[in-house]
Structures are given as structure tokens and as C-alpha cells.
A and B are shown apart, each in its own frame.
Chain A
């Protein structure tokens, strides 16, 4: 049985036994290289569940603050978010069944688009390590590893850190890799500013990043607040756009699970992970904390130790 078949089997059983009211997973999307979040409430609907290299959304978003009994098909990053949300009192672990799926990484449509000159893809065949793509006037095979999301390339927790059931074999843990951040840190302040300004210029303030982020769940975001208006609401101000992202990163300090959902959701292709991952790296380096990697560690912001670095304080 392949992963999809196993997922269907487990989901059908849970629904048939009425152990859960709902299984949240993925179904085939309407476009090549797209899957879509799916909500199965009957064993028949569970037949629509799939697993592929395009299951890019973080499903933790859909299991927060629920009153029904839910099972979720969760990859490594989904589970990290779930763990962090359990600790923040947003998910009741008792009502959630985690069907973990070790994840080898999801493929990035934007990179694939670049690789084929953004021609219309009409058919995709997954050949394990490679994807073969067909369009009207072209055929191309790409190695998945070459077109994987940045966040998947650097992912250390491919195998869910907690689960009730694991579909397939656990994958070996990977070493931390912050080469992208180190390269960014190596730039001069002016270069970094210029880079960020260029990225923020693309922002249309659709807030897909915030909405896709499992950890961004404030009932009123500071950007939306009208009194006081902390920030301009228009997208034409690069400074305001940058301020939005900066504050978002600060609000996620010690909470960001580095899943990359924000960057994946951005319709404008803004490189949002740089700021987030810089924070992730610093929190880890300065306080030894990582969000959502186990149920025991208290959230980084809840802990104070005398050894904590505080040289940033004036």
C-alpha cells in the first residue's frame, strides 16, 4: 500500500468507528501540482484523501479551537505547529488524533514555473525522486530535490515529533542548516535593507502570510487596529509593509515553527522566510529554544533564566 492508500485506510477506520467526527487532510487539487485541504466526515469522503509532494498547506490552521473530535493528516511541520498550539492552549490534545506522515519535502510551484519558463503545465507524473511535466509544447523532468521549498530543504523535523499513528517509515533527523541566514547576515546593513525593501515593494497586503501562519491567530491583528492606527493600511509604503513583517516576526519570536507556510502562501513571491528564520536561528542560538519540537519544553517566552542574554536591553 502506498501512503495515500494507507491514509485512506486509517481515516476510513477512524470515521467508521466514530472515533472522530472529521479527518482533515488533502485531496487532489484542480490544477497540476496542486492539492487542496480536505475535510472528510464520512468513510466515503475519506476515499478522496491523498498524499503527494504538493501537500504544502499547514493543516494546523484547521484544527485550532475546535469542539469536535478531529483527526489530522500531519507532516513534520504541521505537527510542530500543533505542538506549539497545544502549549498555547489553542488545541485540546485529547480531541485530536494525529496521523503523522514523514515528509520528504514539498515541491515549489514557483521554482518549477521558473525552471520551465512559466509555461502552462497540463500534466504531472510523480516518479519518486523526479517529476515529469508535460505542457502543450514541452516535456521536462525535474528532480524534486531541486525544486523543493526552501523551508523543506532546511527542515530538520521531517518526521512528526508526536503522533498517534505514523504512516510509513520515520525519516532520519537532519542537521540544522542556516546557511541561507548566515549568507544574509554576511551582507552589509545597506545591502540587507535594500534587499528587504525590494521584497516588501511587492507586498499587496492581502495578509495571506498571516492567515496561512498557524501561529498567527490574534483575534485582532495590530495591522487591522484602527484606534490607534499603528500602521498605514495602504500597500504603497514599503516602510509600512516592512513594519508589518517585522512586527509579525517579533510576535512570533520563540513561537515560529519554521514551517514556511507564510512564504508558500504569498501570491507575490516575497521571500518572507529570511526574517522569520533569522529570528528562529537567534532564539535557538541565544536561548537554546526551538518551538514545537516536543511537548515538554515550555515556550521560550515563558521562561526566564539568569543566564539569559540581555545585552540587547538598554
Chain B
């Protein structure tokens, strides 16, 4: 019997301060040996429990893409015991990883389809994984047009700035970044995600959306207006979780466990569940 509670030791190779407020760090981890890399097969949208020895573990979406071999990336906001401890870790420290957990974005089903990806704040992590995956030369041909709308309160709070610049320079992705209020030196759009989405009026087959509840709430009607049916709007939930394997009951919403049956659900699926997320 494989014990799903035991973490896999991995080496923290980079502890990078991602945002100007220093509250989000991106952690790059390396497998300690080849077998570990082989056994950790994941897909964009999945999460893992990240563990600081002596402090505990907490669930985070995997920000790297399976196309980036040999490493895992997590972008973590400083909010609790584990994330605080993570932020302070020195490069070279061994951390624990338990996963991959949960389901993933239905990338198989999305093949041949055009896609709009909408993200707000630091909920951009698994979206980065997805974009990186689609943009990989081996995969890009499998998908149609790709539109990405990504917003943060100010430019300093945007994650993955180098990558955003690289994506912006490409012709096979339509990247729209936006910030909440006008700031000197910012040449992108200004405005909240729902407004910008309305302006962009994406006409793709599917939409994936991740962000704070208030952003989701106001963007949803816009997507409906744009013609997305509930089965073509894909979301990821962030309920409180502990075990990550559908047993401890914490993330129970209706008859579903967000950690195991999710975190990815279509709006059509969520419409069938109690609003307890």
C-alpha cells in the first residue's frame, strides 16, 4: 500500500521574490533523483501539499508546467504558518511535496479548441502552468487561438513579469494585462477584469477563469454575455483543505470533495453544488 500522507523530499533551488510588495515568492524545487521525477507525473491545474519540515504542509497550485522538466514551481502568498516559513527558507533547503493532487484542466478535451484564460491577482499560478503547456512547441499546434486576460492591482503585483514580456512578443498568444488604477510608466490597460473582459469580448470555444471571489462574481455575467455556456466556463476552487485525498472532509461541498473531485470544475458542475466555496 502506498502511503499518500508521506511527502517526497525535494530541494529548494530558488526562492524568488515575485512581487513588489514582497508578499509573493516563487519557489523552484528540484527532484533529488530521477525516479522521483518519473513518479511525479502531473498536469496543469493540479496542486500539491508543500511541506516545511517542522512547520507543516499547505496546499498550493502547481505553477510550473509538465513541459518544464526536472523542476516544480509554486508561487506562494505569505498568509499562514507554512507560507511564512517557506518565505524564509534558504535556497538549498530540503522541503516536502505531497502530490500531485486533484484533477486538472481538461487539456485533452480542449484540443483543437480556442481558449480564453482569465486570471486575477495571485490566482494566476495554475494558469501559468496551462499557458506554458499550451505554448510549448510540442503542444501549440493542438490548440486554437489563445487569449489571456490577466490583471493585478498594480504593475508590481503582476506575477511572472519576464514571461509576460516574452508572451507579449509572440504572435500565437493574445495577452492583455491590466491594472486597477492608472500608474505612471504603465502602458497596458487600466481597469478591473470584468470591464476589460467586456471590452475584449473574447469569442473562443472555452474560458478558464481563476481569481478572487469578487472578480469571479462580476466576470461571470460578462462571459455569459459573450456567449460562453456554463459547460464551457472552467474554474478552479480554493477551499480549505488538509488531506488532499478526499478523506478529511474539510473541503466537502455537497457530495463533492474539492481536493479530489476538483479543484477544477465547470460552471455547469458548480451550478449543481451548494454555494459553499
Contacts and interface: CB of A to CB of B under 8 A. Distances in A.
A226 B84 CA distance: 13
Interface string B213-255: 0000000000000000000000000000000000000000000
A229 B54 CA distance: 13
A187 to B, nearest CB: 40
Nearest to A228: B81
Nearest to B80: A227
A62 B266 CA distance: 41
Contacts of A226: 80-81
A223 to B, nearest CB: 16
Nearest to A226: B81
Q: Is the interface of B mostly helix, strand, loop or mixed?
A: helix
Interface in B76-103: 80-81, 84
- Which of under 10, 10 to 19, 20 to 34, or 35 or more describes the interface residues of B? under 10
Interface string A210-250: 00000000000000001101000000000000000000000
A172 to B, nearest CB: 53
A227 B84 CA distance: 10
Interface string A256-268: 0000000000000
A101 B214 CA distance: 50
A90 B80 CA distance: 31
Contacts of B81: 226-227, 229
A229 B85 CA distance: 14
Interface in B85-132: none
A36 to B, nearest CB: 28
Nearest to A229: B81
A196 to B, nearest CB: 30
Interface in B47-84: 80-81, 84
A227 B80 CA distance: 7
A229 B56 CA distance: 12
Nearest to A227: B81
B84 to A, nearest CB: 7
A227 to B, nearest CB: 5
Nearest to B81: A227
A299 to B, nearest CB: 34
A304 B81 CA distance: 38
Contacts of A229: 81
A229 B80 CA distance: 11
A222 to B, nearest CB: 15
B236 to A, nearest CB: 24
B147 to A, nearest CB: 40
Nearest to B79: A227
B192 to A, nearest CB: 31
Contacts of B80: 226-227
A227 B83 CA distance: 11
B155 to A, nearest CB: 30
A229 B81 CA distance: 9
A54 B174 CA distance: 71
A156 to B, nearest CB: 46
A233 to B, nearest CB: 12
A229 B82 CA distance: 12
Contacts of A227: 80-81, 84
Interface of A: 226-227, 229
6 contacts: A226-B80, A226-B81, A227-B80, A227-B81, A227-B84, A229-B81
